[in-house]
């Protein structure tokens, strides 16, 4: 693996790219689904608001239209004869002798301006504009002349708005469309009521079917009374009659006529240059003739009332006339009302997305964080593995080199001594001293490697014990002094501690650490002045600090950052091919921490004034 690190990084980069691309695709799909969900919720909420608004409008107007649909046709007479009447003594009164005022004579409704009817000859009349003796009776009892004149003005305006032939054709077409529309089964009635966007004529079916039953029941009971009153009115003196726009008596039906009352049909009337007016008309068929009855709606007031009903739901709502409804029911892109040919616009827009961190987005953020963290950890592990492999390779090369040098010396000197090729006693003693030095060096190398291997495997255990500092110095001092003398260096030993100061350490570990530090100082500071190594002991909190300082070139910042890593050596040692495999300081720090202390480099000496390593050992008894 260490021979081809680039290949491993390529494979790792390819795998990471595939994971990121797949996760990006999944993220895009999930966000698209979330947007679709938010859009569906927004549409559902918008439809809910719209349904509630339409329901309020239709619920307010529906009962008023139902009341008009249930009104008997004879109430469109100002006065109609009572069919049966009796005195207080229960004496019967002749038919037609008693006249009953129509409820429409004094009818007042804010949205209904005037009721009117058109007979088969095209004559226009209104129950609120009585004629002949009926007017005198009305003025003397329930109405004033100003009220009658006001209603008459409205009746004249209606006469100018409508065209009889066109009006009859439109009513016939609307009734034909209603008749051709199949009645839905009961199971679908509620579904039709919820369909707020259905065409007005289709929505009229339910309303007209219900109200037609009521009208039929009242028509049967009142038909004879209406016919009797009509015959009596025929005998009265005639008043002025004219085409549409003039006052005229009501239509007359014979007793044999079968009266058919149609449903109310809303129609917009008027020319294109003026504001359209809304009227409701129904046809009265009898004796092969068609008569029309209806009422004029105050559209501005109705529009304002409907808008006010939904002001809290749709503040910007507006109700506009549906002037483009044809025979086929095609309409403009507005939301239709069911009770009036008008459409609603200004439905409030509802946000289709949520701001902030939604649960879906939070989950995606967590997934991305976990994946990126996993990739980062994988990259770090790959880097560490490659770096560790390279260090082990360098270590193997260094160990091989370090073993080859003493072994070569051992072989050469031993052969020379064995073959008695060194007759001089002084030379022989020099060779033997060299062999002893190389054996010590070889022993230290092997011991360091084995000790580090035991530390990595967790088999290295120190045994800290209470030891006096002075006793420790007496034991280690001569060894360190001899080590310095071998390199032509001096050891300066000083202590700021009392002679009875006790530390809690492992003797062998402290000896190995100080021996390694002094050996490194002799190796890297040799050749610099002064040729001295300072060993200082002092108190630092709850620990004793043993400082080993040389006066060499020091350690640069880059080297200091990786100084205690295994298999790492300084730049100068690498350039000068100094002996060593890069395990000394890593082993020393591990031994120091294993017995409760630490080993660090004093940053105050990292300015080209030598290097100072500080061994921290705990004071006895050790701190908790």
| 554 in Cβ contact with 610 (< 8 Å) | yes
The residue out of 235, 265, 299 marking a domain boundary is 299
Contact in structure between 292 and 117 (CB atoms under 8 Å):
yes
For the ranges 131-145, 265-279, 450-464, 517-531, the lowest mean pLDDT is seen at 450-464
Q: Which residue has the tokens 């084995």?
A: 450
Nearest CA-CA partner of 265 in 179, 187, 197: 179
Lowest mean pLDDT among 99-103, 151-155, 311-315, 550-554: 550-554
Provide, rounded to the nearest whole percent, the portion of the chain with pLDDT above 70.
Answer: 79
**For residue 87, pLDDT beyond 70:** yes
- Residue 55's pLDDT is what? 92
Instruction: List, in order, residues 6 or more apart from 392 with CB less than 8 Å away.
Output: 2, 567
Query: What is the rounded CA–CA span in Å between residue 66 and residue 266?
Result: 13
Task: Write out the DSSP string of 174-238.
Answer: HHHHHHHSPPPPGGGHHHHHH-TTS-HHHHHHHHHHHHHHHHHHHHHHHHHHHHHHHHHHHHSPP
Per-residue pLDDT at 361 exceeds 50: yes
Q: Supply the pTM of this predicted model.
A: 0.53
Give the pLDDT score at 443. Answer: 79
Q: What is the pLDDT of residue 250?
A: 53
Determine the Cα angle at 102 with ends 276 and 132, to 5°: 90
Over residues 162-169, mean pLDDT: 85
- Tell me, yes or no, whether 624 lies in a domain: yes
Nearest to 441, CA basis, from 417, 407, 413, 414: 407
Is pLDDT above 80 for 69? yes
Whether 449 maps to a domain, the answer reads no
Q: Reduce the DSSP state of residue 357 to 3 states and report it.
A: coil
Question: What is the torsion angle, in degrees rounded to the nearest 10, for the CA atoms of residue 536, residue 539, residue 544 and residue 549?
Answer: -20
Task: Out of 244-253, 362-371, 380-389, 508-517, pick the least confident.
Answer: 244-253
- Contacts of residue 503, defined as CB under 8 A and 6 or more positions apart, other chains included, come to 466, 467, 468, 469, 472, 544, 617, 618, 619, 620
CATH number of domain containing 493: 3.30.565.10
Please give the mean pLDDT across all residues of the chain: 78
The answer on pLDDT for 226 being more than 50 is no
Q: What is the pLDDT of residue 132?
A: 86
* Residue 431, pLDDT score: 80
199 in a domain, yes or no? yes
> What angle separates helix 5-69 from helix 359-418, to the nearest 10 degrees?
170
Q: Which residue has the higher pLDDT, 440 or 458?
A: 440
Task: In whole angstroms, give the CA distance from residue 82 to residue 246.
Answer: 27
CA 90 to chain centre: 81
On whether residue 308 sits in a domain, the answer given is no
Lowest mean pLDDT across 407-416, 510-519, 590-599? 407-416
Question: What total of structural domains would you count in the chain?
Answer: 2
Expressed as residue numbers, the domain containing 231 is 45-84+95-299
Out of 230-244, 260-274, 317-331, 372-386, the most confident range is 372-386
d(CA 569, CA 583): 8
Question: What is the Cα–Cα distance from 568 to 578, expressed in whole angstroms?
Answer: 13
Q: Which two structure tokens, joined as six digits, stand for 282?
A: 């129904």
In sequence order, what DSSP letters do the residues of 553-579 get, joined into one string?
A: S---HHHHHTTTSTT---HHHHHHT-S
Query: What confidence tier does 19 reach under pLDDT thresholds 50, 70, 90?
Result: very high
Q: Which residue has the higher pLDDT, 414 or 381?
A: 381
Residues 6 or more apart from 454 whose CB is under 8 A from it? 460
Are the C-beta atoms of residues 218 and 197 closer than 8 Å to each other?
no
Whether 409 maps to a domain, the answer reads: no
Burial of residue 18 (number of CB atoms within 10 Å: 0-12, 13-18, 19+) = exposed
Average pLDDT (497-507) is 86
Q: How confident is the model at residue 553, as a pLDDT?
A: 81
- Three-class SS of residue 262? coil
Lowest mean pLDDT segment, chosen from 32-46, 233-247, 284-298, 447-461: 233-247
Residue 613 pLDDT exceeds 50: yes
Q: What is the pLDDT of residues 261-304, one digit of tens each?
A: 889 999 999 876 778 899 999 998 877 788 899 999 999 999 99
User: Where a domain ends, among 299, 328, 359?
Assistant: 299
Asked if 262 and 283 count as a contact pair (C-beta separation under 8 A), the reply is: yes
Residue 308 has pLDDT above 90, yes or no: yes
Tell which of 253, 271, 299 closes a domain. 299
| pLDDT the model gives residue 193 | 40
The conformation of residue 496, written as its DSSP 8-state character, comes to: -
Q: Closest by alpha carbon to 585, among 598, 572, 571?
A: 598
Is residue 101 included in any domain, yes or no? yes
DSSP three-state, residue 268: strand
pLDDT digits (tens, 9 = 90+) for 581-610: 667 788 888 888 888 889 988 887 666 678
Is 383 a domain residue?
Answer: no
pLDDT of residue 220: 41
Six token digits for residue 315? 């503040």
Instruction: Estimate the crossing angle of helix 299-309 against helix 5-69, to 10 degrees.
Output: 130
Contact 185, 44 (CB under 8 A): no
With bands split at pLDDT 50, 70 and 90, how would you rate the model's confidence at 365?
very high
Residue 38 in any domain: the answer is no
Instruction: Give the pLDDT of residue 498.
Output: 82
Which pLDDT value is given to residue 135?
A: 87
Q: Report the share of the chain in percent with pLDDT over 90.
A: 20
Name the pLDDT band for 333 (thresholds 50, 70, 90). low
Residue 67: band (very low, low, confident or very high) from pLDDT cuts 50, 70, 90? very high
231 — phi, psi (to 5°)? -65, -35
Tokens 């649960």 belong to 359
Among 532, 521, 533, 515, CA closest to 578: 521
* pLDDT score for 57: 92
DSSP reduced 3-state for 294? strand
Answer whether residue 26 shows pLDDT above 70.
yes
CA-to-CA distance for 594 and 57, rounded, in angstroms?
86
Tokens representing 6 are 């680039």
């Amino acid at each position: 693996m260490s021979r081809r690190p680039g290949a491993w990084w390529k494979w790792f980069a390819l795998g990471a790219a595939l994971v990121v691309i797949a996760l990006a695709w999944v993220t895009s799909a999930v966000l698209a689904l979330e947007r679709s969900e938010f859009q569906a919720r927004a549409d559902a909420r918008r439809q809910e608001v719209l349904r509630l608004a339409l329901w309020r409008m239709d619920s307010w107007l529906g009962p008023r239209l139902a009341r008009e649909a249930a009104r008997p046709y004879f109430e469109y007479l100002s006065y109609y004869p009572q069919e049966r009447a009796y005195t207080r003594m229960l004496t019967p009164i002749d038919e037609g002798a008693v006249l009953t005022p129509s409820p429409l004579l004094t009818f007042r409704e804010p949205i209904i301006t005037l009721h009117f009817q058109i007979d088969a000859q095209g004559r226009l009349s209104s129950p609120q504009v009585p004629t002949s003796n009926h007017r005198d009776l009305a003025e003397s009892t329930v109405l004033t002349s100003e009220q009658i004149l006001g209603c008459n003005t409205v009746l004249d305006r209606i006469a100018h708005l409508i065209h009889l032939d066109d009006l009859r054709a439109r009513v016939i077409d609307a009734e034909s469309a209603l008749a051709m529309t199949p009645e839905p089964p009961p199971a679908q009635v509620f579904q039709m009521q919820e369909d707020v966007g259905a065409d007005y004529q289709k929505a009229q079916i339910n309303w007209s079917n219900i109200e037609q039953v009521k009208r039929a029941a009242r028509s049967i009971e009142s038909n004879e009374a209406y016919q009797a009153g009509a015959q009596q009115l025929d005998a009265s003196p005639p008043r002025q009659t004219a085409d549409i726009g003039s006052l005229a008596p009501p239509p007359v039906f014979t007793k044999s006529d079968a009266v058919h009352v149609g449903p109310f049909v809303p129609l917009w009337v008027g020319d294109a240059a003026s504001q359209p007016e809304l009227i409701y008309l129904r046809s009265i068929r009898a004796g092969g003739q068609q008569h029309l009855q209806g009422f004029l709606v105050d559209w501005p007031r109705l529009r304002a009332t409907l808008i006010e009903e939904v002001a809290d739901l749709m503040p910007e709502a507006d109700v506009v006339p549906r002037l483009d409804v044809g025979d086929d029911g095609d309409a403009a892109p507005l939301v239709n009302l069911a009770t009036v040919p008008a459409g609603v616009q200004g439905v409030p827009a509802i946000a289709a997305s949520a701001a902030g961190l939604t649960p879906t987005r939070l989950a995606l953020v967590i997934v991305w964080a976990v994946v990126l963290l996993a990739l980062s950890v994988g990259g770090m592990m790959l880097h560490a593995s490659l770096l560790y492999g390279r260090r082990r390779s360098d270590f193997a090369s260094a160990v091989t080199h370090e073993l080859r040098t003493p072994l070569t010396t051992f072989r050469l000197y031993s052969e020379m001594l064995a073959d008695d090729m060194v007759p001089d006693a002084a030379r022989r003693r020099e060779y033997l001293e060299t062999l002893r030095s190389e054996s010590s060096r070889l022993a230290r190398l092997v011991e360091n490697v084995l000790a580090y291997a035991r530390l990595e495997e967790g088999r290295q255990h120190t045994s800290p014990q209470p030891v006096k500092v002075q006793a420790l110095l007496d034991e280690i001092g001569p060894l360190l002094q001899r080590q310095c003398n071998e390199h032509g260096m001096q050891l300066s030993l000083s202590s700021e501690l009392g002679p009875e100061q006790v530390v809690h350490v492992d003797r062998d570990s402290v000896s190995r650490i100080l021996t390694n530090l002094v050996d490194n100082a002799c190796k890297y500071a040799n050749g610099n002045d002064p040729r001295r190594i300072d060993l200082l002991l002092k108190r630092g909190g709850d620990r004793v600090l043993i400082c080993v300082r040389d006066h060499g070139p020091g350690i640069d910042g880059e080297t200091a950052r990786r100084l205690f890593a295994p298999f790492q050596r300084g730049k100068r040692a690498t350039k000068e091919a100094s002996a060593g495999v890069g395990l000394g300081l890593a082993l020393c720090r591990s031994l120091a921490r294993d017995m409760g202390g630490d080993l660090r480099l004093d940053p105050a000496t990292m300015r080209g004034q030598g290097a100072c390593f500080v061994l921290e050992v705990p004071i006895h008894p050790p701190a908790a």
